[in-house]
A and B are shown apart, each in its own frame.
Chain A
Amino acid sequence: MTATAWNADELDPLQQLTNNTIADMEVITPIKRRDGIFSTRFAGGRVPLTPSPKTPRTQVISQEVQTESIHHANASLMSRLQRSVSKPTRESPKSNIASRPSRDSPRRIDLGLSDFTLTGTGPRPSTAVSAKNTPSRARHGRATSTQRTPKRTQSKVNYTAADRFIPNRTASEAISTSGAAVKLDSNEQTPGRRPKSSASSDGSAVLAASAASAFDIGRPHSSSSHDASAGLSFEGLSLNDGQEDDEDEAPKTKASPNTVAYQQSVAEACGVSIKQRILAFKPAAPESSRPIDLRSQYNRPVKPAAASASQFRRRVLTAPERVLDAPGLVDDYYLNLLDWSSGNQVAIGLERNVYVWSAESGTVSSLLECPADTYISSVKWSGDGAYVAAGLGTGEVQIWDVEDGTKLRSMYGHDTRVSVMGWNKHVLSTGARSGLVYNHDVRIANHKIAELVSHTSEVCGLEWRADGAQLATGGNDNLVSIWDARHLNAPKFQKTNHKAAVKALAWCPWQSNLLATGGGSHDRNIHFWNTTSGARVNSIDTGSQVTSLRWSLGYKELVSSSGFPDNSLSIWSYPTLVKNIEIPAHESRVLHSALSPDGQMLATAAADESLKFWKVFEKKAGTANLAGLANTAAAKGLSKATTIR
């Protein structure tokens, strides 16, 4: 709670604001502590006449102490001296009652005769006289026997105190309390009566006090009979203490009995108690970091409207639309073996074959078979849906015309397997195990047009932005690189936030500079990036390996597929990052996913060698895709909903 502790932390402006207020509070603590000192005097309600509740007494006291005249200060000092002596020696209770008790024992005289006594007697305006008188008396006391003089000095003190009325009042009141009566009973009766009578007037109080002290002197101090009531005498003492400290402000705060009675009757009439006050902790409570949605905490809504959002939350079909066998699907996280074309055909690489399955007709055909010494490591449809690029384990890239079923060309360059590819019009980007990414212009003989050097380990994620201006690549070196298509000699941004391989990459269809990336099993996070500024804008901890990410075209949502341990599909709202649903999709990890051209259907291929189709983004009637019109115009020919036979 100390200010330093606060400053040590990294603070946002809001925090700093409250920080300041706390610092303010710190500043006032000394005063508070001072209050504490004074307040102990009043503790336990032992002060019979409490000052008006309306006055903040503590402050008055502290001021008074500072502005007091010398005499006052000395007087209180003296009284403190007396106290300090009288407490440990357990003076007789009676002397306590007499309010200025304790200077009658021989020991105390030595102290009492000090200079404090001189000034202590002089709180009266006519200081000259008293100052003159007292020293002589004090000297006299020192010269002669111990008995008489102290008594007189004391009575003097008492008198002046009485003049200033507070201590004397206490004295008389203390006497009238039952506690005092007990004490007196334990002594002789006569002195007990005298103090009582003294309560009637200030003048007689002097007499009473002197008489009481006279009685004290007659006996050795603290006889055994008093020990029993010693505790009580302390009570009396502290009573006086409180009052002595009070003596300066009491006159101001004390209202006449009439006033008090009047206040009381008024307060009663208003139904307010003047004995009680309602206090509020004034500093404002710290701001909440965000508005809280209590729906997460089992509350019934006040207004049904508030609940509507949750009630009308989109229902997602959790059963697969169709399940196909995918025998021989290589269980390798780094490969990319599934793609869905704009022509509504699904290509999948199974070991050495690439099969094309037509979603329209439900027919399947084997497109190609690679040599026996290698396998298919990646498959990608060109943007127009006419060609399939197939990456091989040898590093060869083949381009096939699907309609004719003929190979158009082979492109060499990589000496390691090509695990990921991406088309940008006529440019095919290929990422290999070596960490290199090549761009090929498939139209020309000298096809290699760029070499993108950034990754040091296998590139397993590669995605062109829809407009072709940026390219994102992810690798087994936990790196996400974002490239500007015009400057391919170095990545625009390199992001090291992921703690595992980055295979899942997806560009947001409605916000072109938003990229989602998902990390592998040691990372499990989905990060969202602003690719203009390079800033990370959001993150989700999914709890399992992220194997692919796809944005919905129709909803502000994205779907992630999971590996160990969930093997599920999760649909997240963006930007709220609320998980709408989690579908337990496969028996083993989901390796690949692909979205249908109309954006409603998701195909997933998993290590359990099955290919499943999910209608996760089912379109509501009459809603347009969020994606730009460019897409829809291009796909006008296939504007009818995807069908699967």
Chain B
Amino acid sequence: MPSATPSTTSSDKSKLHKLALKGSSKTVVEFFDFACNTILFQRGVYPPEDFTTVKKYGLNMMTSCDDQVKAYIKKIMSQLSKWMQKSKISKLVIVITSKETGEHVERWQFDVNIFQDPSKAKRTTSSGDKENTSPENQQSQSASVTSDKTDEDVQKDIQALFRQITASVTFLPMLDGNCTFNVLVYADADSEVPLEWGDSDAKEVKNAEKVMLRSFSTNNHRIDTVVSYRLAE
């Protein structure tokens, strides 16, 4: 029962909704792409000379120009965009792992909240959807009421978030430069899963400090960013 059909109102509206969702998903996936590149650069997973600057969000964004890394990220992002368009994703996580010890040293988590129709949102909360009843849901509800953001607003929000991600290297501990990374997604159980993807644990950082960064929202999604990192011994 819980997965009631999302569009039972009128066909016109549902079409509009789908289109908006598609555009919003695109924005979000693009954001993930840049976020991934930025983190790989800022945290020294790959050497700085492997990156080039690209103007985006009114900033100079660093994106990898290494063919292998590019292909790897592209593969992830293309699958991600499929999932996003079907609203299957609730979290994207980039985990940085030490190659020497295999410990997870840093974890960048992007929570994806999908705005629903206000009436729907109410229904889900009242029906007690265990996973999403946290304050997030209420926020998404209120946000969805007020949200009618222009593209510029969204870009501005994302810019602010990237500034924060870049600035966060000042408080994050230094990595030893011998790290690799993994990408996790929290997907709905009924999502269809290509062979490259497999079940995993959450890869949490042990004894971690968490810092919540800015959020940004499109008309259909809100992305919350949390970075958790290992405390210095």
- Residue numbers of A with Cβ under 8 A of B are 1, 6, 9, 15, 18, 22, 25, 28, 31-32, 35-36, 38-39, 42-48, 50-51, 53, 56-58, 177-179, 230-232, 235, 268, 273-303, 306
Contact = CB atoms under 8 A, between A and B. Distances in A.
A42 B203 CA distance: 30
B99 to A, nearest CB: 9
B74 A276 contact: no
Contacts of A22: 68, 71
Given A281-B196, A292-B44, A50 B180 contact: no
A274 B2 CA distance: 13
Nearest to A264: B130
A288 B47 contact: yes
Given A277-B199, A299-B169, A32 B131 contact: no
22 contacts: A1-B74, A6-B67, A25-B75, A25-B196, A44-B5, A47-B3, A50-B3, A53-B190, A178-B8, A276-B188, A277-B187, A278-B187, A280-B197, A281-B76, A281-B183, A283-B72, A293-B177, A294-B174, A297-B44, A299-B172, A300-B174, A303-B232
Given A35-B194, A179-B8, A299-B172, A289 B187 contact: no
A276 B191 CA distance: 9
B200 A278 contact: yes
Interface in B24-48: 42-48
Contact of B46 (A282, A283, A289, A306): A289
Contacts of A282: 196-198
A44 B174 contact: no
Contacts of B194: 28, 32, 35
Interface of B is mostly: loop
A280 B46 contact: no
A406 to B, nearest CB: 58
Contacts of A231: 10-11, 14
Given A28-B196, A299-B169, 10 more contacts: A44-B5, A48-B1, A56-B193, A58-B193, A278-B199, A280-B200, A289-B66, A291-B178, A299-B174, A302-B173
A610 B4 CA distance: 87
A230 B14 CA distance: 13
A19 to B, nearest CB: 8
A44 B184 contact: no
B71 to A, nearest CB: 5
Contacts of B184: 278-281
B152 interface: no
Nearest to A22: B71
Interface residues on B, range: 35 or more
A1 B67 CA distance: 9
A268 B131 CA distance: 10
Contacts of B71: 1, 22
B16 interface: no
Contact of B5 (A31, A35, A51, A235): A235
Contacts of A46: 5
Contacts of A285: 45, 69, 72, 180-182
A283 B199 CA distance: 13
Given A276-B188, A294-B44, A289 B182 contact: no
A52 to B, nearest CB: 9
B195 A276 contact: no
B174 A28 contact: no
A291 B192 contact: no
- Most B CB atoms within 10 A — which of A18, A278, A284? A278
A286 B72 contact: yes
Contacts of A300: 170-171, 173-174
